[in-house]
Amino acid sequence: MANLLPSSTRIGSTLAAQPRHPLAHLPTPLEPLTQLTKTLRQQGPAPELWIKRDDCTGLAGGGNKTRKLEYLIADAKAKGADTLMTFGAIQSNHARQTAAACAEAGLACELILTRQVPSRQEDYERTGNVLLDALCGAHLTLTEPGSAKNAAQQRQDQLEQSGQQVYRVPAGGSNEIGALGYVQCLLELWEQLLDKQLDCQYLVHASSSAGTQAGLLCGLLGLAGELSTEAAAQLPRLLGVNVYHPQEQTLAQRIESLCGAVAQRLGLELPTNWQSNILLDSSALGTGYGVPTEQTLQAIRLLAQTQGILLDPAYSGKAFAALLAQIKRGAFTNAERVVFIHTGGAMVLPAYVDTLTPP
């Protein structure tokens, strides 16, 4: 493994110059999934599994959006905003972390939450992340998906008429500013792998609004450009598991656009045909966003019962189910190592109690 620390790279120094409002508990742990790997190898070939615990970022239960919000909050403050407005599904993990980030930063928080999940239990709109949103002091507007744009504009007009300055954060915090959080995550993870002297063949994570994957990919490409050809070949490949988009190409195009914007912001020149590094797996999507498949539920139970780590039914559970399916199909050997990036979401589990509780 090439011994090039992120702090000594151009991409590391350029990223360090970006305005940032510290929120997360960093670095998040990188841990072996020893019991799970042992269990899987009793059934056939399986890679050595590790997990990057971005569910442990803090901030009202943690999750991947906290890294993005560090850069978004800094930008909002620099522009003189006193109110953040953002968007998500009813049980949005991003909305919960935004509400908590605003509380810490002394900003008002406006959440436009849409009823995107078709099958919901009776208290779906009162428990889980929705409860935590309210506890953190956010103002919630619940609406149907087709009405979200108008509802947001009406609410923003009301706020601005009363003298508030609103800063809009896109769904998932996924723009070229928020995605900087996952360039930072990639560099952090690379340093951990160097410190532990671990080679890694694949990074796997849930992909939805594209910011996490775009940031990670930009970080990988930036590192590759500073390493020798031999050393760059040792970098892991990045696999995003599509948990939202009915058409995979929609997500791929979003990642391509966003990765390009992040690279431009950091002054990185991406290599020719870099888009071939956008790898997606949509096999775990099932009938749609927020609706867990039986494989999702099995994955959640398996990781909880072998490692005591909680996944969620909409994001990390589906991503882990896709990884387990690939292992079952023989996609990896015992000689390989895979890191699963846990993007969080366990705070939503009470909203799925009817689904998760065995009959």
Question: Which amino acids are annotated catalytic?
Answer: 92
Helix (H) or strand (E) holding 280: strand 279-281
Residue 225 phi/psi, 5-degree rounding, is -70, -15
List of residues 6+ apart from 82 with CB closer than 8 A: 107, 108, 164, 165
Which DSSP string corresponds to 114-183?
A: E---SS--TTTTTSTHHHHHHHTT-EEEEE-GGGHHHHHHHHHHHHHHTT--EEEE-GGG-STTTTHHHH
User: 161: buried, middle or exposed (CB in 10 Å: 19+, 13-18, 0-12)?
Assistant: exposed
β 48-53/30-32 pair status: antiparallel
